[in-house]
């Protein structure tokens, strides 16, 4: 073997060694990422597993095995939870607040986003910046002033007062999201509609909103989940027992049955079903809205 051939062979061996080492390093990085993802999945799924299996046990079976799967399915905890709580009343209250607040905030946000994205007027960018800056203020900071305001105008313990508060808190994020999506719609479509004699409201409701359906459904899903899961605002603004939302009612119910964990978990599981259905319904729109926004942006 000549010197040139030996040198070429050594270079091939050295190159193969480097590739093997790099692959080994890459494999380690993949393993670490998979472990992190598994840990995250376990952290998310374990509470759900505990909440699902616990109501299917009797109190005695739960005392013997808290994490094990029940050997015999027991549904009496759900009956006890339904008799001990006013779930259907709380469910109806949550529906009224969620639908009312999301509908009002979406309508106002659509008009605001259309004005700040398609209309030219002095101070437009400043107005949009002020609206967007409200997103960094925690709702709990504004809760006391809002409560005092509603007390002064005698709208505490009323659905319209709570709906107005929720809609106002949802508006900044809603305007910001729809504004960004409206900007991606081609100007030629708007100009053609104006030439055909369409009014601004016609353009908004017949062109902008239908073309923004993925973003609109994403917004509705996110806002609906936020209002449905809220506890503090509903607890402060609607203190009467007959006006409690599902989250407030289930919290009071859980404290009442604190010693009986299976019954308490049965109530929490029933309270989680509507949230799951809302997300399941809006999931495809949510993903489609994110993808559409990423592609158009």
Residues contacting 261, CB < 8 A, separation 6+:
54, 59, 62
User: Is the domain of 161 the same as that of 205?
Assistant: yes
Contact 124, 116 (CB under 8 A): yes
User: Is the domain of 118 the same as that of 19?
Assistant: no
Q: Which helix (H) or strand (E) holds 190?
A: helix 187-195
Has residue 72 been placed in a domain? no
User: Is the domain of 155 the same as that of 20?
Assistant: no
User: Is the domain of 110 the same as that of 251?
Assistant: yes
User: Is the domain of 185 the same as that of 264?
Assistant: yes
Has residue 76 been placed in a domain? no
User: Is the domain of 230 the same as that of 272?
Assistant: yes
Tally of structural domains, the chain: 2
Residues contacting 212, CB < 8 A, separation 6+:
178, 181, 182, 185
User: Is the domain of 177 the same as that of 215?
Assistant: yes
User: Is the domain of 8 the same as that of 115?
Assistant: no
| Cα(238)–Cα(227) distance, integer angstroms | 14
Select from 41, 261, 238, 74 the least CA-distant residue to 158. 238
User: Is the domain of 30 the same as that of 97?
Assistant: no
Has residue 100 been placed in a domain? yes
Q: Is the dihedral of CA 264, 266, 267, 273 positive or negative?
A: positive
pLDDT digit string (tens) for the chain, length 297 residues: 554 555 555 555 455 555 554 555 556 777 888 899 999 998 988 888 888 999 999 888 888 888 888 888 888 888 888 887 788 888 899 999 999 999 999 999 999 999 998 888 888 888 888 988 888 888 888 888 999 999 999 898 899 999 999 999 999 999 999 998 888 888 888 888 888 888 888 989 988 998 888 888 889 988 998 999 898 999 999 988 888 898 888 887 766 656 678 888 888 888 888 888 877 877 776 666 555 544 444
pTM above 0.85, yes or no: no
User: Is the domain of 89 the same as that of 172?
Assistant: yes
Helix, strand and coil in the chain, % to nearest 5? 85, 0, 15
Has residue 78 been placed in a domain? no
Distance between first and last Cα of the chain: 61
Look up residue 226 and give its two tokens: 């936020």
DSSP 8-state assignment for residue 120: -
Has residue 11 been placed in a domain? yes
Query: Using CB atoms within 10 A of its CB, is residue 230 exposed (0-12), middle (13-18) or buried (19+)?
Result: buried
Domain at 187, CATH number? 1.10.3720.10
Question: Residue for token digits 């073309």?
Answer: 211
Residue 123 three-state SS: coil
| Cα(10)–Cα(119) distance, integer angstroms | 70
Has residue 89 been placed in a domain? yes
What range does the domain containing 271 cover? Answer: 83-296
Has residue 59 been placed in a domain? yes
Has residue 234 been placed in a domain? yes
User: Is the domain of 97 the same as that of 225?
Assistant: yes
Question: Residue for token digits 């010197």?
Answer: 3
Look up residue 9 and give its two tokens: 């062979």
Residues contacting 287, CB < 8 A, separation 6+:
none
């Amino acid at each position: 073997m000549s010197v040139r051939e030996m040198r070429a062979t050594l270079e091939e061996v050295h190159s193969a060694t480097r590739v093997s080492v790099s692959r080994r390093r890459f494999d380690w990085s993949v393993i670490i990422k998979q472990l992190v993802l598994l840990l995250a999945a376990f952290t998310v799924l374990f509470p759900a597993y505990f909440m699902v299996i616990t109501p299917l046990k009797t109190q005695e079976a739960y005392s013997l095995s808290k994490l094990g799967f029940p050997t015999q399915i027991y549904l009496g905890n759900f009956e006890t939870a339904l008799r001990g709580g006013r779930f259907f009343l709380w469910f109806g209250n949550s529906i009224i607040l969620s639908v009312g607040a999301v509908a009002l905030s979406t309508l106002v946000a659509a008009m605001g986003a259309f004005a700040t994205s398609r209309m030219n007027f002095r101070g437009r960018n400043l107005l949009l910046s002020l609206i967007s800056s409200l997103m960094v203020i925690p709702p709990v900071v504004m809760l006391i002033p809002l409560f005092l305001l509603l007390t002064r105008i005698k709208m505490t313990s009323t659905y319209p007062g709570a709906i107005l508060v929720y809609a106002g808190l949802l508006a900044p994020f809603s305007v910001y999201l729809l504004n960004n999506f409206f900007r991606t719609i081609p100007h030629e479509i708007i100009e053609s509609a104006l030439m055909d004699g369409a009014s601004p409201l016609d353009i908004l409701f017949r062109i902008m909103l239908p073309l923004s359906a993925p973003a609109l459904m994403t917004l509705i899903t996110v806002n609906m989940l936020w209002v449905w899961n809220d506890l503090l605002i509903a607890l402060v603004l609607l203190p009467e027992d007959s006006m409690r939302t599902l989250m407030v009612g289930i919290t009071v119910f859980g404290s009442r049955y604190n010693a009986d964990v299976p019954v308490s978990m049965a109530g929490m599981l029933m309270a989680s079903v509507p949230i799951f259905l809302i997300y399941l319904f809006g999931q495809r729109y949510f993903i489609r809205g994110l993808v559409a926004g990423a592609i158009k942006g």
